[in-house]
Structures are given as C-alpha cells and as structure tokens.
Amino acid sequence: MKRRIELGLLYSRTGSYSLISEASRAGALAAIDQINADPGLPVCFVPIERDPGGNADAYGPLCEEILRDSATRHVVGCVTSWSRKEVIPSLEKLGGTLWYALPYEGFEASDHVVYTHACPNQHLLPLLDWAMSAHGRRAYLTGSNYIWGWEIDRLTRATITDAGGEILGERYLAIGALDVGRMIDEIRATRPDFVLNSLVGASSYEFLRAYRALGLTDPHFRADRCPVLSCNLTECEFPPLGEAAEGLIAAGPYFRGVAGWPGPGNFGSAHEAASFAAVHELARLLSRRPWAEAMSLAQLLEGMGGPIDKGTHHTALPVIIAQVRDGAFRVIQHRGEVAGDPDLTRGPPSAAQPLRVVS
C-alpha cells in the first residue's frame, strides 16, 4: 500500500504575479496526480494548500500554519525571493523543507531549501555573454524594487563593466507599479544596445507594452537592434502581453516544446516544469527509505545521487537562450546541462561574493 504523505503547497492565486504562481501550482498538482496514480511508487501525496494572496507578509505565518497543523514536512511554493526569505525562519523553527521552483538571484544557501530552478550562472551570465557578443556592451537595467531586481542588476553591472561595457541607466518600480514612462524616456534618450528587464508581473507587462510602442516609432528599439532580455519571463505570461512579447530574449532551463528536462512532458513553461520536477524528485527520495518524510534534508539527500548538489541544494539544469517569434520561444542557443553555482565560484571574479548562508 502507498504511504500517505501530506505535502504543503504555498502559492498566491491572486495578486500581481498570480500567472506565475498558477503555472507553478499547476506543475506541482500535475506531478502529485501522476505520482498518486503510479502503482510503482510506494508514496502518495495529499496536498495541504494555503494562499497568501500576493501578500509577502502572509507567507511566513501560512508556512508555519502548514507545518504546525499537519504532518507536512515538505512545502512546494513561493514565487518571489521576498516570500522565500519570509518562510525560512518558519522552516528552521519547525523542521520543514521548502522546494523552491523559480529562478532566483543566487548567493544563498539554507539547510531547509532545495532550489530546483536556475541561479545566475544558469540564466543571467549566459544571457549576458550572448547579448554582449550579439548586440554590444551598453545596457539599460530595469527591476522590481526588491532583492531579485537589486541583485540581478548588481551582477549585470559588475559583469558588463568588467567586460569594458557601460550601464546607461538603472531604474526600479515597486511590485505591481505601472508608471514605466520615465524608464521609457531614459531608454529613448540613452539608446542602449539592449535592455535587461527584471520587473515582475504587471510591472513587466506594462513595460513591455510601452517598449513595443517605442519600437513602432523608432527602429532603433526593435528586437533586431535593441532587444529586451529577461531571466524570469516565460510562456505563462504571454496572455496579457500579446504582441508585446515578440522579440523578447530569455534564458531558462526549459521552453515549451523543447525536448529533455524534466522528461517527456510538454509543459506550458519553465515554472510549470520546475515545480513538476521538484515534486517528482521529492517522491523519488521519499520512496527509497521507509518514513523518509521525517528526515532532515541532509539525511534525505545522503547517498542518494540525483541532480541536487548535497552542499548547496541547487540543481543541475540545461541552459537555454530563446527568443519569442510568432508567439512562441524559438531556441537561439542550447548550452547543455550546467551545475548550479550560487556563489559564482566559477563566475567573473568581481561578481563573485562570499556565500550568504540564511539562518
């Protein structure tokens, strides 16, 4: 008989970044259904869900509620780095593990987090390397006003200036803010070679719509001359963008229709695929030992092999660069599988920082 294991799901179903959350949640639920229907696996998952509603302050208390009021020890969830950091104290206090399936900015390690999406050496650095070779070394940076935007733009600044390039402007918006006009005005005035967009959710959609309008009036800002780059925008956000997504260049471990990771499924986006892969990897680990769900993360990974590094808890992933053409991402470059290197020990020397251990 299958062991019944409660599994936490912590995704916001409303709010500025709800499309990302819904894609991630869909991937996790699809994996749960597949695992529960598989007679070859000795475990079945019972989802214990909480919805923070896009409120960063709600993630910590709701994560604690899941761990305190159920037998759950593993939680799949969180979208922003802000929310991930909010739940870590609850995980430490109650002995839980978060499976975080979104791209993030690196420079973090926790005994209570598994990172199953890309960090900068798997998204940002390959993307910048490609962009500087293909377009030039003069960049404009946008970002949401929290850790993802700050850190991605900090690394970009270091990488481009080390290469002899120049940052022509850098501007941030609060999550959900739509006042992109000043960014567009500065981009028009500075005329960069490319724009790195680290905005999240509705802010990103508004910016991309305004940038497309700019390109219709000035050919310098069309995708072949001055493209917008992203490390976090995927197909799940195409519906509100429409034609504004055309020409966007992104880096990630998966794009719809690309064979390989995390298996034969045709997932809607990398967010969906990473959550699906996270739940399947957890099922694999729990299936190998009786009552493994009570183990710490270190005990669970001990001697098990697989894609997760036992020291950093980051995942080896494909590195793919793709561009939106005719409504779908088309692969520009596939760099194969790359191990996660959150502290950039193998990256540009000035970009590398001491690893910040979250405790």
pLDDT tens sequence across 82-102: 999 999 999 999 999 999 999
pLDDT, greater one: 274 or 291? 274
Report, as an integer, the average pLDDT of 301-326: 95
Instruction: Please check whether the two domains, 3-118+256-317 and 121-254+318-338, share a CATH topology.
Output: yes
Residue in 297, 239, 290 with CA at minimum distance from that of residue 98: 297
The pLDDT, as a whole number, for residue 259 is: 85
Q: Does domain 3-118+256-317 have CATH number 3.40.50.300?
A: no
Contact assessment for residue 76 and residue 83, using Cβ atoms and an 8 Å cutoff: no
Q: What residues does each domain of the chain span?
A: 3-118+256-317, 121-254+318-338
Contact assessment for residue 78 and residue 87, using Cβ atoms and an 8 Å cutoff: yes
Q: Above 50 in pLDDT, residue 140?
A: yes
The pLDDT, as a whole number, for residue 355 is: 34
Reported pTM: 0.94
Report, as an integer, the average pLDDT of 35-42: 96
The strand pair at 138-144 and 194-198 is best described as parallel
Question: Which pair of tokens denotes residue 218?
Answer: 């000035």
Report, as an integer, the average pLDDT of 281-297: 93
Contacting residues for 38 by C-beta, under 8 A, at least 6 apart: none
Can you identify the CATH homologous superfamily of domain 121-254+318-338?
A: Response regulator (3.40.50.2300)
* Cα end-to-end span (Å), the chain: 38
